[in-house]
Copies of this chain bind each other. A is one copy, B any other.
Amino acid sequence: MQLFYSLDITPNGLCTLDEEESRHAVRVMRLREGDDINVTDGRGNMYLCRIVVADPKACVVEPTEAHSTSPAPRAALHLSVAPTKNPARMEWLVEKAVEIGVGEITLLNCDHSERTFLKTDRLERLAVSAMKQSLHTVLPVVNPPVELKEWLRQSAKLFAPDTQKFIAHCEADQPRTPLASAMVAGRDAVVLIGPEGDFSAEEIALALDCGFQPVSLGHSRLRTETAALYATAAFNLINDR
């Protein structure tokens, strides 16, 4: 099954796919008028649609049937991660995290971050593509970089009171619980993953003050993007029993 994406799809009325989706349907997949495709709005809905105009720049489709999509996940993960120096590693992370299942990704500027210019719009395009690949119908949000400390100070407002909040730092001499033991199923979670030089002592202290629980991610020294993906896998495994 091939899934297409359009924010504008609704149960009633025609919808014009954007240029990239139109090109993919008509040029790459060689679909024609009368062919059926599935289109999601990225907000949990999916429709069986018939192609009405097979224009490679503006393909027009008409919904014929609403699909019952898989039930909404009972909880969502908010992954907050300091971008790596190498943008390819972040791009890879976004693709894989969206495939496995993530609700929201926020990029963190930390005390030890190397501030590199990261194109959030490219990450958003990768998220769309991974959503379609994995047949998800909810498009994860990719937020532009925020200052960690400022963001922590607002965290009480940002997250519902029953959200599980974790900081995965590498200070082996401080108490930390393995993430798989600390996290429970069925509740939203936010996990902070630090930059290559780890969080600063000040950032860890502030996170703990703000109610974040310190967790460890196994016994390996993981790269930033590997740690973030491991946390994503943990969340999905714990919620898939």
A binding-site residues for B, Cβ under 8 Å: 70, 92, 96, 99-101, 133-136, 178-181, 218-223, 226, 229-230, 233-234, 236-238, 240-241
- Pick the residue among B101, B181, B223, B233 that contacts A233 (CB under 8 A): B233
Q: A239 — nearest CB in chain B belongs to which residue?
A: B218
Residues of B within 8 A of A234 (CB): 233, 237
What chain B residues lie within 8 Å of A229 (beta carbons)? 96, 229, 233
A99: nearest chain-B partner, CB-CB = B226
The reply to whether B178 and A218 contact each other, CB–CB distance below 8 Å, is no
Q: Which of A70, A219, A222 has the most CB of B within 10 A?
A: A219
B99 touches A220 (CB 8 A): yes
Asked, given contacts A180-B237, A180-B238, whether A100 binds B230 with beta carbons under 8 Å apart, the answer is yes
**Copies per assembly:** 2
Query: Given A101-B218, A221-B134, do A180 and B240 touch, yes or no (CB 8 Å)?
Result: yes
Provide the bound-state CA to CA distance between A89 and B78, in Å.
25
Evaluate whether A222 and B99 lie within 8 angstroms (CB atoms) in the complex, with A229-B229, A229-B233, A234-B237 already known: yes
Chain B, Cβ-Cβ closest to A180: B237
**Can you list 16 A-B pairs with a CB-CB distance of less than 8 A?**
A99-B220, A99-B223, A100-B218, A100-B222, A101-B219, A133-B221, A134-B222, A135-B221, A180-B240, A180-B241, A218-B236, A229-B229, A229-B233, A230-B236, A233-B237, A234-B237
CB A110 to nearest CB in B, in angstroms, measures 21
Most chain B CB inside 10 Å of its own CB: which residue of A135, A136, A181, A229: A229
State whether B240 touches A178 (Cβ < 8 A): yes
Nearest CB of chain B from residue A237's CB, rounded to whole Å: 4
